[in-house]
């Protein structure tokens, strides 16, 4: 077995394990958010992909026309890597208006809105990593989240370039709704790991006892 796993070589069972872990993470995220906004929050995951970082760049470009807000965070410990969460503009505005209610509808993303989206994004991102972390029974330390309103495509591409040193990434497409209202657009969480094989092995070991 090489140090790296190709897409087609990741067995189905391992993929299922990852998806299951992700689902657990989003469950925790939904619970945390429901408490936070004092309303029922539902997060659906229509797509989970495991791909090379390079391919992830293309995938994101194809999926998203305009980037909105993103939050990046490094983590270290038994597994190391970088998470990246970003909202599309539509999703960000829609999410904020759902939380704010009818009385304070916004047309754009303000400073307060960025702050709110960051808090939500941080909860989701941390929930996913914590779910993985819990499974592999290893302590993970989080760096300071890097939060920014996307102003330059170049800036975002450079950020993605920084991730090229990493191995594989789990790209999660999330669809969130609050108070049963549909939210336009999606938020994406990209979990990239320095050594994806370690993650997979740890997960297999924990789940399958191998």
In the complex, which residues of this chain contact other proteins (CB under 8 A)? 36-37, 73, 99-100, 102-107, 110-113, 115-116, 118-119, 122, 126, 130, 139, 141-145, 147
Residues in the chain, total? 210
Nearer to other proteins, 143 or 182 (CB): 143
In whole angstroms, the minimum distance from the beta carbon of 10 to other proteins comes to 28
Task: Return the HEC string of 43-96.
Answer: EEEEEEEEEEHHHHHHHHHHHCCCEEEEEEEEEEECCCEEEEEEEEHHHHHHHH
- Quote the CA–CA distance of 90 and 110 in Å, as a whole number: 13
Shortest Å distance, C-beta 118 to other proteins: 5
Cα angle 38, 39, 43 (rounded to 5 degrees) comes to 125
Q: Which is nearer to other proteins, 58 or 76 (CB)?
A: 76
Tokens standing for residue 51:
């791909």
Query: Shortest gap between Cβ of 24 and other proteins (angstroms)?
Result: 17
Judged by CB, which is closer to other proteins: 143, or 161? 143
Contacts of 9 (CB under 8 A, 6+ apart): none
Name which of 156, 168, 126, 155 is nearest 143 in CA terms: 126
* CB 141, min distance to other proteins, A: 5
Whichever of 191 and 200 has its CB closer to other proteins, that residue is 191
| Tokens found for residue 197 | 């094989």
β-strand partners of 192: 82, 169
Q: Closest distance between other proteins and the C-beta of residue 63, in Å?
A: 25
Hey, which residues does 85 pair with through a beta bridge? Answer: 71, 189
Which residue's CB is nearer to other proteins, number 23 or number 77?
77
Q: How far is the CB of 145 from other proteins (least distance, A)?
A: 6
Of 110 and 153, nearer to other proteins (C-beta) is 110
């Amino acid at each position: 077995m090489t140090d790296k796993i190709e897409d087609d070589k990741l067995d189905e069972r391992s993929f299922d394990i990852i998806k299951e872990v992700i689902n657990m993470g989003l469950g925790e995220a939904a619970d945390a958010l429901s408490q936070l906004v004092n309303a029922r929050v539902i997060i659906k995951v229509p797509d989970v992909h495991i791909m090379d970082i390079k391919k992830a760049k293309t995938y994101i470009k194809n999926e998203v026309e305009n980037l909105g807000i993103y939050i990046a965070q490094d983590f270290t410990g038994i597994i190391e890597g970088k998470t990246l969460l970003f909202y599309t503009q539509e999703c960000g505005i829609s999410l904020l208006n759902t939380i704010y209610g009818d009385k304070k509808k916004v047309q754009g993303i303000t400073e307060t809105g960025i702050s709110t989206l960051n808090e939500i994004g941080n909860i989701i991102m941390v929930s996913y990593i914590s779910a993985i972390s819990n499974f592999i029974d290893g302590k993970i330390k989080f760096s300071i989240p890097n939060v920014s309103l996307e102003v330059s495509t170049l800036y975002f591409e450079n950020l993605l370039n920084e991730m090229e040193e990493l191995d594989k990434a789990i790209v999660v497409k999330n669809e969130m709704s609050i108070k049963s209202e549909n939210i336009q657009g999606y938020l994406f969480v990209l979990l990239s790991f320095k050594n994806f094989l370690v993650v997979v092995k740890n997960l297999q070991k924990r789940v399958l006892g191998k």
